[in-house]
Structure 1
């Protein structure tokens, strides 16, 4: 069996047995080589040791399962990790964000079959297709109207625009009220999810007005909530101008999670909030009726 054919066969075998016990000896026997010869060929051809690839592939399958609602502790057991902590550490090292980040963010597509050309392509080498603006935010606040939700109603953050009616929010009226009330701050709105409980599927969704002038704080009303954004380093991803917000946001989130963060020198900083940022571009005045917004991800350099 030629090396390329062998690699394609083994990659397919790994996928078919991803939840089973796998080792260099098992893979070498399937390939028809000695463990030493198999390891040498696999590493030389694939660019990484066989078991490193197996771990990475298991994490890719686990990431998809997490995006579909599986709990991290169950995914850890299913994919052969000895502890939940070990699974979380490996997951974050591989993708640049913790397993909990999959709970509400854009859906992850199922892992596709890998042939050699795809395995050796830019995705696996960590080449970034996106070019976000790396920006140092100054601290600001968000004041708005919170609503406690369950994931059964809202599948992911990127779905929020399509679910405004089901959230029982008159978003236009609420945003008008916020802008009429907080007149000292510049024009921008924030959409964000926080207080996420992955055990029962609950989270808080906040539709709010960005507040960057302290004079506005005293105007806050009893039915409103204030969340303080610490500021710091963010990766800011602008969606392409589009008529359909939902598709543009979902596609951007998907690229962030599957391409940019895994291949970046940065990782998601889970001590701070991520949020969606809307300004005048949201009104369609600049793109012939199309709209644009920003997804803002708090980041820090990955640990070596």
Structure 2
């Protein structure tokens, strides 16, 4: 196919660029090497890589230069190697690309950012995120590979969908996972199955297989038509990962671990285990999945009939988890934000052209102009026609971090493994109307015992003697066949004789931790506001700024002890 030949050619071009990146590369010279007219070559290059030739080359050069900074090389020699006449010109280009100077980049120990991810492969939208996976147990039916020759994991994806006739027992689940697996007989099998919580419940003819926890780059691609479409989408994406994304970004794939697929109703996901390159951030924040991008995405789609489910799905969260995280960082309910943003946008349009008021209300999906007018009055205490200057602001996370990070002090400590008893906290557990968000709930339950704990050996002995943990925990829900992210809170315990109802025993791994606290001797009177400040300044700001130091294998948690709130972030030695 012409499309396949074009992809093969562009991948050869990419490898040529990577081999000659420290040289002065021009579009004319590169086009000549591949037997093309420069104008035609520049056109097909931009169509395939989604960036003009010189801009693409400059982005690669700057990333190679960023790698050299971490090798403690002199700035002048790096600038010269990658084609900059002066260190000033290099620093200016570096700051424009990464937002910081080369020296600040080195000082912070910042990870070298990935090249921008392509928006689509073979006409299908794609996205990517880095995750530290939980152990995953599949109940599946294995089929032995009959083809001769060595297995190419990337070329033989979606094997079950390519050969459905080989599967007499197709798992009954909306979400399936597939993985190549070598049994004790040293034969290769492709196992297609559904996720289960306990392998003891797996019944014949299915067998259990547990995929251990690991570092993954998770790629998503649209595919919803039929089995053939799934095969084509998975393999096109796999070719992009192996032939372009990995070499372009210096990733080292862990072929000793499990590379596996997840098949949803409207997309395929490929989990690629990484030995090197975990956590590289995208430079185009508008296409990433970070917290920074959420507001931008919502604002850009505010004209649409947007819902929490649609937004959460775009960022690969469950609706409930996304709503909880959004409120924790931005201090506003997600539905409330969407409603306010629509009203604010309409108000601005009304100011510029009041004659179109009814059409504008319809454009923003209000049932009627009257319904819009009532909502507008309830929010802003004025009619749309009276609009003058309405201010609508939410926290600017980078600005908030910069302004408040000095209000916290950090120390470092070593912990042994310890245990907590956690219960999922929900808004309906308290009658406080203003405690519907995670910080408010934590502020309440750090200082009050759960009803199921009162009168047990795990209850707090007296006020001021609390020692409780709050953290996010991931569990698999059999009923929905999906992972759920729950906020768990409860006391630190030494010995567990009997776990109280609705609680779960959780072990927190020991090791080195960065510990954050305020300068105050007690946080009791301002616990909710301190929690919110720590969420943004530590979990968003510090972790992002010093991500290279954070140990992703362990859990970050809050600890309320003797009227003081602490945030513990696991770090490498």
User: Normalised by the size of structure 2, how large is the TM-score?
Assistant: 0.30
1:179–1:209 contact (8 Å) kept in structure 2: no
1:221 and 2:500 matched: yes
Structure having greater relative contact order (Cα 8 Å, sep ≥ 6): 1
User: CA offset at residue 142 of structure 1?
Assistant: 0.5
**After superposition, where does 1:47-58 map in structure 2 within 5 Å?**
48=94, 56=113
Deviations 1:205-243 (A, max 9, x none): 22211013x3xx114335431111121111111146474
Larger Rg over CA atoms: 2
Deviation larger for 269-278 or 251-260 = 251-260
For the structure 1 residues 246 and 24, does the alpha-carbon distance in structure 2 shift closer, same or farther, using more than 3 Å as the test? Answer: farther
**Size of the alignment, in residue pairs?**
224
Q: Could you say which residue in structure 2 is the equivalent of 1:5?
A: none
For the structure 1 residues 101 and 299, does the alpha-carbon distance in structure 2 shift closer, same or farther, using more than 3 Å as the test? Answer: farther
1:175–1:209 contact (8 Å) kept in structure 2: no
**After superposition, where does 1:186-205 map in structure 2 within 5 Å?**
187-195=466-474, 202-205=484-487
In structure 1, the gaps of 5 or more residues are 1-18, 29-34, 60-64, 113-117, 150-158, 282-291
Any idea what SS the aligned residue of 1:174 has? coil
Q: Could you say which residue in structure 1 is the equivalent of 2:560?
A: 278
For the structure 1 residues 26 and 209, does the alpha-carbon distance in structure 2 shift closer, same or farther, using more than 3 Å as the test? Answer: closer
For the structure 1 residues 236 and 264, does the alpha-carbon distance in structure 2 shift closer, same or farther, using more than 3 Å as the test? Answer: same
Q: Distance in 2 between matches of 1:248 and 1:100?
A: 26
1:181 and 2:454 matched: no
For the structure 1 residues 184 and 259, does the alpha-carbon distance in structure 2 shift closer, same or farther, using more than 3 Å as the test? Answer: closer
Q: Could you say which residue in structure 2 is the equivalent of 1:255?
A: 537
- Matching residue within 503, 510, 513 for 1:234: 513
Deviations 1:67-114 (A, max 9, x none): xxxx97469x9xx9936859997672569xxx99967766387788xx
For the structure 1 residues 74 and 93, does the alpha-carbon distance in structure 2 shift closer, same or farther, using more than 3 Å as the test? Answer: same
1:300 and 2:330 matched: no
2:114–2:281 contact (8 Å) kept in structure 1: no
Q: Distance in 1 between matches of 2:562 and 2:451?
A: 13
User: CA offset at residue 274 of structure 1?
Assistant: 1.9
Q: Could you say which residue in structure 2 is the equivalent of 1:139?
A: 417
Q: Distance in 1 between matches of 2:273 and 2:525?
A: 43
Deviations 1:174-212 (A, max 9, x none): 178357423799740111211167x96721222211013
For the structure 1 residues 223 and 268, does the alpha-carbon distance in structure 2 shift closer, same or farther, using more than 3 Å as the test? Answer: same
Q: Could you say which residue in structure 1 is the equivalent of 2:279?
A: 92
Q: Distance in 1 between matches of 2:421 and 2:530?
A: 26
1:269 and 2:547 matched: no
Q: Distance in 1 between matches of 2:561 and 2:451?
A: 12
1:72–1:100 contact (8 Å) kept in structure 2: no
2:474–2:486 contact (8 Å) kept in structure 1: yes
Deviations 1:276-301 (A, max 9, x none): 111221xxxxxxxxxx4111111214
